[in-house]
Structure 1
């Protein structure tokens, strides 16, 4: 694995054509108002200029590749900015959104197909469309899709998603779990708690739904990558194990200890703490952690390899996380 390329599985692309498609449509203003309430005015005042400054890296493949070279990254798995989910959209609009997003992401990656691989979108708010959307993404040459931690009124444990999980498992598609927005709403509207607390919470809740509902029992071959190191779940999985062992309601739907499912999932390395990264490797296994940077946003890292090196992992584990694990996934696909 020491000879494998360095692979960053958490990198985003901004798709102006998708935003142009939904501009002015009913529902967009309400969704933006909810996002504003969840984040608060101080966060929005910082985020706007931050994103604008990064637009060249988010949209121009040449600028992206130069930044990758500076970071020592050989390959990026590129996913749309989560702001493109638009889970408020009706069925007709949602189909237009995912088709345009899939095609635009594929076009962006086609500028350097040996270095840029892509993920598309599916409309979780319309479960009946998710299989079709996944197939469309794969048909564009993408490796899978990116999803949020929930859709309005639906958790990832919802039986309506069973055909989607089945199709993702059948095709070997990658599913990148990346939350957008936290349902704790205005409780997190100061000090950017909407992200610093909200994202890890949403990751932990979504993964817990997949574990405790039995989704991972029914689909053991699912290739799911959790952003942000899986949030709070991997470092607090002992509490889940205890509940599963002592309460009939907690253990009713999944067959094994919750901690045992961590070895069936993949996690990116973006935890911002070398001690937490070591614990993630311990709980999930060195073969289940993948390099991630959240390129190019400010809550990511400009030096993902350096952040990984700071964890002081054994050489074999370091190289597995740096690229060996992800390269094996990408090559299989």
Structure 2
């Protein structure tokens, strides 16, 4: 198969830091958080998750192993973000600060071992909105390109006014915000057959993006560089329903333009597991708004992201853009 023109960039890849999780070991809130996670996922999923993650520890932690896997995939550059299991949005302010400081530094150190091939994102504590701008600045000061965030924090949606200083600072600095859900508030309804992930993740993406759109966040901060994992979940494929509500219901018209127009102001990764859905995403968001993503190295990702991209039978120029050109522009890779 013909290799895409230019560098191939995977914007959805993770790194794991045992030293970060060590910061919460023995914390009184950890047991409750794990119990909630177990309730939401169910025992069958937890029985699979442990061995699955364990078998991937070398790819998640060892730069040499990571680079070899990238070579096998034909990937030149990865945008590396901490495993969402590091969010720990239940922690108090002091512990949260220790977590994001540690995760940001560890990510920067990991990427520094292969600076021509790895770029990184840090973390912010969404449960403490007052810390988010400082955490973002800390990540940027270490050479990271932005931060990874989940779809919500306990008791707060992304449309919460408390996040306004964070959005403003992100827009001002040009930081990349990688929206990657972790967990789903549908709880026990999804506790079998791994529905917590297969249904929960795209649902969380759609809810979070809808809060940013309908809540007017993208109107107030048009410069935000927002990158949504998992192709934005269900929202791009069902955006017509959002547009219809915006047209016919006054309570749904809290954003200045039809919701579909905002898809062209958001970036999306290509991890949708279906060639037809990927073609629809490109059509809905624009060929310049979709970037290659693999969810490296987890089992719900793609071991052959370029192959998945080729299966969509996109025009050559679009394939080249999604494979790396769009990411180079968004991330400033030159």
User: Please, what TM-score do these two structures have when normalized by structure 1?
Assistant: 0.99
How far 1:3 sits from its partner (Å)?
3.2
Matches within 5 A, 1:114-129: 114-129=116-131
Counterpart in the other structure of 1:155: 157
How many pairs are equivalent? 332
How far 1:332 sits from its partner (Å)?
6.2
Counterpart in the other structure of 1:184: 186
8 A contact 1:293–1:300 mirrored in 2: yes
Residue by residue, what CA displacement relative to the aligned partner does 1:34-63 show, whole Å, maximum 9, x if unpaired?
A: 000000000000010000000000000000
8 A contact 1:4–1:327 mirrored in 2: no
Structure 2 residue 298 is matched with structure 1 residue 294: no
Residue by residue, what CA displacement relative to the aligned partner does 1:254-274 show, whole Å, maximum 9, x if unpaired?
A: 000000000000000000000
8 A contact 1:274–1:310 mirrored in 2: yes
Counterpart in the other structure of 1:322: 323
**2:220, 2:314 → 1: CA distance?**
33
Counterpart in the other structure of 2:103: 101
Counterpart in the other structure of 2:277: 276
Counterpart in the other structure of 1:239: 241
**2:4, 2:47 → 1: CA distance?**
43
Counterpart in the other structure of 1:40: 42
**2:207, 2:41 → 1: CA distance?**
19
Structure 2 residue 221 is matched with structure 1 residue 210: no
8 A contact 1:117–1:142 mirrored in 2: yes
How far 1:2 sits from its partner (Å)?
5.2
Counterpart in the other structure of 1:227: 229
Which 4+ runs in 1 deviate beyond 4 A?
none
User: Please, what TM-score do these two structures have when normalized by structure 2?
Assistant: 0.98
How far 1:4 sits from its partner (Å)?
2.1
Residue by residue, what CA displacement relative to the aligned partner does 1:216-243 show, whole Å, maximum 9, x if unpaired?
A: 0011110000000000000000000000
SS, match of residue 252 in structure 2? coil
Residue by residue, what CA displacement relative to the aligned partner does 1:75-107 show, whole Å, maximum 9, x if unpaired?
A: 000000000000000000000000000000111
**1:53, 1:114 → 2: CA distance?**
27
**1:41, 1:272 → 2: CA distance?**
25
Where does the alignment leave 5 or more consecutive residues of structure 1 unmatched?
none
Where does the alignment leave 5 or more consecutive residues of structure 2 unmatched?
none
**1:156, 1:37 → 2: CA distance?**
24
